[in-house]
Amino acid sequence: MTAALEVQNLYIALPSEGDRKHAVAAVNFSVGRGEIVCLVGESGSGKSVIAQSVMGLLPKSLPVTEGKILLEGEDITHAPLSRLRELRATRMSMIFQEPMTALNPVMRCGEQIDEVLRAHTTLSESERKKKILAIVEEVALPDPERMFQAFPHQLSGGQRQRIMIAMALVLEPVLLIADEPTTALDVTTQAQILHLISELQRKHGTGVLFITHDFGVVAEIADRVAVLRLGDLVEMGPKEDVLMRPQHDYTKMLIAAVPGIHPKAKARQTNAPIVLQVVGLDKTYGGLGWFSSKRHEVHAAKAVNFTIRKGETLGIVGESGSGKSTVARCVVRLIDPSAGSIDLEGDDLARLSGAKLRALRKRVQIVFQDPYRSLNPRRTVGETIMEGPMNFGLSREEAAKRARSLMEWVRMDPSVLNRYPHQFSGGQRQRISIARALAMEPELLIADEAVSALDVSVQAQVLELLEEIRQRLNLAMLFITHDLRVAAQVCDDIVVMSKGEVVEYGAALEVFSAPKHAYTQSLFAAAPGRDFPFHQSKTAA
């Protein structure tokens, strides 16, 4: 039996102004029927380009210059559009990362699946409807009849992704391409979707080309793994081989950079002075508008309590909408808490405003998630770092001196201070953001998903930098993250939040080894690849 997909010696050219000649070069791999092959790589590795080349979705600026793409033995590398149109959805189909935008918001979900059937089959309307309801049921959506009638905005992200999967699999293609299908989802939803994909592909014998950057997901779902680096396929093999006994240095580096899910036991000073004490913090959004008479309130944070001691890191973990960022933003006073106190070494941040608040601002600093939006594109890096100290009366010369020494702290060349943010990579920008925060000499540093947007190898470096800074300055840190692996590596104490409430609060070691609350347990159970012994091979090697 021929493989579902075979890619032979594939070259895809980049436009001449690109940073390298080929998006992908000399890539060989195959996806057998009923097999899940994971393409792993960091951003810019060319993994999505490969997926698009198979579907024939590449823009004209990225032509396939060499090699072959065989779908069930048929060469589709340069197939005409009409042939591709016949093959799409019937023999190969694709699901995308963003379930929010991949569905047409003005069409009912049922109609969108129906569109596939109308384009490719001659079934009657009632037969089509029957088929749609069957596939909707198969992707484990409740009440298929209602789902058929629903518009995308009425469904959750996970439900939309299920609709996408239903649409992709309704004609039983031999090949399913999944391009980061769970990256935009919460960890518990991700676990369900991964489970669904592997269950369906086993049942239908579909070959799956699964694209991801997350080694946890790879460990969870893959049969075989291909590792891409800047367009080169550096390593390919069965999952156990690649993850446990990686051969290539790049793979070794990537896997070593994956944070382990078991926290290390650290020596702790239990009598260190308390830097931050949050008591009964409440935040409600909403209220009366000009023209609305009904009061619509959202309780984003309810009675949150925690303390952070000097030199310690408290992590807040939770899924989207859990209120973890709300808490962080209240502590920095970017938003005003509705109730409760935020005691920063004797001063109540929650009650201050105006000039008094401004004077206290330097003591709490924050690093944001998105490295591309957290620096003003119209100001040089130097101006960005110097602004804070100068707001508090430092002279320009002294601020510049501090900026130069901070650049060394965050391991960057001080000579680039006069450059603009667009000249730096994501990891570099995050270092600059850290330097900006440190320039204020804060007592408390808040990292709001500060490493979530970074590639795993860069993430490891930035985490290491944060740890180094925390030790050097004996800082208190509040670390907000959705990533349990990161939390396990960084935090001394853990707060688990769900729907605005703290459901569990304790030492990281205890919370991770014996979670008490049912939600924490389900959260940990959903962490992809949690049982996979990533770092055991390292000790052996």
Partner 1 sequence: MAQQDTSSLSVEAASVRPQQSAWQRMRASGSVRFGAIFLFILIFISVFAPWLGTVDPTLFDAASRDLLPGKFGEIMTLEGEVLKHQFLMGSDSFGRDIYSRVIYGTQVSLLVGLLTALASLALGIVFGLLSGYIRWVDSVVMRVMDGLMAIPSILIAIALVALWRGSITTVIIAITIPEGPRVTRLVRSLVLSIREEPYVEAAIAIGTPTWRIMLFHILPNTVAPLVVQGTYICAAAILVEAILSFLGVGLPPDIPTWGNIMAEGRPQFIQYPHNIFFPGIFLAITVLAVNILGDGLRDTLDPKMAKRL
Kindly list the residues in this chain that would bind partner 1 in the complex (CB under 8 A).
Answer: 19, 253, 290, 332, 334, 358-359, 361-362, 364-366, 368-370, 373-379, 384, 387-388, 391-392, 410-413, 416, 419, 422-425, 427-428, 431, 433, 436-437, 439-440, 457-458, 461, 464-465
Residue ranges in 246-314 assigned as alpha helix (H) = 249-257
Of 66 and 348, nearer to partner 1 (C-beta) is 348
Closest separation in Å from C-beta 499 to partner 1? 24
Backbone φ and ψ for 237, nearest 5 degrees, come out as 175, 180
Half-sphere exposure of 52 (CA within 13 A, CB side): 15
Helix (H/G/I), strand (E/B), else coil: 362? coil
Q: What gap in Å lies between CA 215 and CA 527, rounded to an integer?
A: 11
According to DSSP, the residues that pair with 495 across neighbouring strands are 316, 505
Of 56 and 389, nearer to partner 1 (C-beta) is 389
Of 172 and 370, nearer to partner 1 (C-beta) is 370
Closest separation in Å from C-beta 377 to partner 1? 7
CA dihedral 433, 435, 438, 440 (to 10 degrees): -80
Closest separation in Å from C-beta 448 to partner 1? 9
Q: What gap in Å lies between CA 440 and CA 365, rounded to an integer?
A: 8
Closest separation in Å from C-beta 293 to partner 1? 18
Of 58 and 390, nearer to partner 1 (C-beta) is 390
Q: What gap in Å lies between CA 82 and CA 108, rounded to an integer?
A: 27
Of 189 and 365, nearer to partner 1 (C-beta) is 365
Of 13 and 390, nearer to partner 1 (C-beta) is 390
Q: What gap in Å lies between CA 35 and CA 174, rounded to an integer?
A: 10
Q: Is the dihedral of CA 351, 353, 356, 361 positive or negative?
A: positive
Structure tokens at 471: 């030790």
Burial 517-539 (b: 16+ CB within 10 A, else e): eebbeebbebbbbbebebeebee
Q: What gap in Å lies between CA 89 and CA 84, rounded to an integer?
A: 10
**Using the 8-state DSSP alphabet, how is residue 33 labeled?**
T
Closest separation in Å from C-beta 325 to partner 1? 11
Of 274 and 332, nearer to partner 1 (C-beta) is 332
Of 292 and 521, nearer to partner 1 (C-beta) is 292
Closest separation in Å from C-beta 332 to partner 1? 5
Closest separation in Å from C-beta 430 to partner 1? 11
Of 75 and 408, nearer to partner 1 (C-beta) is 408
Q: What gap in Å lies between CA 55 and CA 86, rounded to an integer?
A: 11
Residue ranges in 56-97 assigned as alpha helix (H) = 81-87
Structure tokens at 139: 């992707």
Q: What gap in Å lies between CA 472 and CA 466, rounded to an integer?
A: 10
Of 435 and 491, nearer to partner 1 (C-beta) is 435
Closest separation in Å from C-beta 38 to partner 1? 24
Closest separation in Å from C-beta 291 to partner 1? 12
**Which residues neighbour 257 within 8 Å (Cβ) at sequence distance 6 or greater?**
456, 457, 459, 460
Closest separation in Å from C-beta 234 to partner 1? 17
